[in-house]
Amino acid sequence: MKQNITLSIDKELINKAKLVAAQRQISVSGLLRNELRRIIEDAEGYDLAERKAMNNLKKGFHFGGKGVVCREDLHGR
């Protein structure tokens, strides 16, 4: 479902947006819609990557070592 919104944008910016939209053969509305969609997808992708990274850090990584050795065993005491 589409819904109209009202934006306040400087005339100079609107004129530049019209030029860019015309070069891409889309409307200014389509240009704004595409860019807003891209911004939101980037933000969602970043949030997902951040959650995955934080889960990996909490879980930790195994690099093939034999585990933690206590100080006494390490020094043969």
Q: How does pLDDT run across 29-71, given as a tens digit for each residue?
A: 999 999 999 999 999 998 889 999 999 888 887 777 777 778 8
Q: What is the rounded CA–CA span in Å between residue 19 and residue 62?
A: 54
What is residue 74's predicted lDDT score, i.e. its pLDDT? 77
Instruction: Check pLDDT > 90 for residue 18.
Output: yes
**How far out from the chain centre does Cα 19 lie?**
28
What is residue 23's predicted lDDT score, i.e. its pLDDT? 97
Q: With bands split at pLDDT 50, 70 and 90, how would you rate the model's confidence at 75?
A: confident
Check residue 26 and report its DSSP letter: S
